[in-house]
Amino acid sequence: MSTVTQTAAETRTSVIVDGVTRSFGGRRILDGVSFTVEQGEFVALLGRSGGGKSTILRILAGLETADSGTVLTRPNRTIVFQEPRLVRGRKVWDNITVGIPGGRRERRRQASAILSEVGLEGFGDAWPTSLSGGEAQRVALARALIRSPELLLLDEPFGALDALTRLKIQSLVAALHGRHNPSVLLVTHDVDEAILLADRILVLRDGGIGAEYRVPFGRRRSRSLPGFSELRGSLLGELGVSEEIGVDAGDGR
C-alpha cells in the first residue's frame, strides 16, 4: 500500500482514500474503498457491524495498514474511541496532556482551558475512576482537541453512553466542530446521529462505498426538521433495515 502524508499547504482535502483493500483470515473486508473528506468537513460513515468501518478509521489513524490502495491524510490527526481509554493512575489533567511538550504548570494551564470547553471546568485533579461515562468521554474529547488536530477521527465515541448523555455529547461535538473546525470522520451505527452531525453521509456496503448523501440542513438541527424522516428512511433502506416493528395480528403467531 502507498500511504502518503500531506501538509495543509498542499491541498484543501484532508483525507483521500483510493482503492483501499483489506482482508482478515482470507475474507476481504474492504474491497476498493474510495472517498475524500474536505478541509473542515464533517463526514459520517455508516454500515453494518463487521463491515469494515472501524478498520478504515484505524488505517487512517496509522494503527493498521491496508493490503493495497492509497491513503493520504493530514499529519496532525487524533482519534477518539468508543471507550475513553484513560490511564487510571493519572489525574484528568495528566491524561489530557500526555505527550504534550512543556512544564507541569503550562500543561495544567492548557488542560484547564480545554476542560472548560468540554464542560468540565475544575475536573483537572479528578481521578478517572471518579468520572461518569459521559464525563470520561468528554475527557477523551479534550485529550484529542488539545492537540489542535486538522483531522479528528471518531470511532463510535457515543456508543456506550445512555440516551440522554449521548444527546448531550452529540451537541458538544457539534459545538466543538464549529469552534475548532477540524475535518471529522465519524464512524457510527446510529442513522439519526449521522444526520444530526454530518455534512455528508457515506454508506459502506459490500466492502465499498455503496451510497453517499449530502445532508441538506443547516448546523442547527433536530429530528422535527422537514425532510429528516425521509432522509432517515432512505439511509435505513441502504442498510437493509425496516422502520416497522412488531408482528401482524392476523399472521397467527
pLDDT top residue among 211 and 220: 211
Question: Could you read off the pLDDT of 69-108 as tens digits, one per residue?
Answer: 999 999 999 999 989 999 999 999 999 999 999 999 999 9
Does residue 133 carry a pLDDT above 80?
Answer: yes
Beta-carbon count within 10 A of 170 CB: 19
Task: Say which residues have a Cβ less than 8 Å from residue 134's Cβ, sequence separation at least 6.
Answer: 161, 165, 168, 169
Domains and CATH numbers, the chain: 2-85+150-242 (3.40.50.300)
Does residue 127 carry a pLDDT above 80?
Answer: yes
Q: Average pLDDT, stretch 202-209?
A: 95
Q: Strand 42-47 to strand 183-187: parallel, antiparallel, or no bridges (unpaired)? A: parallel
The candidate with the shortest Cα–Cα distance to 95, out of 82, 83, 84, 79, is 84
Model pLDDT, residue 248: 54
Does residue 109 carry a pLDDT above 50?
Answer: yes
Backbone angles phi, psi at 6, to 5 degrees: -110, 160
Question: Could you read off the pLDDT of 19-71 as tens digits, one per residue?
Answer: 999 999 989 999 999 999 999 999 999 998 889 999 999 999 999 999 999 99
Indicate the average pLDDT of the chain.
91
- The set of cell numbers assigned to 152 is 479528528
| Nearest-angstrom CA–CA distance, 159 and 100 | 28
Model pLDDT, residue 206: 92
Model pLDDT, residue 242: 72
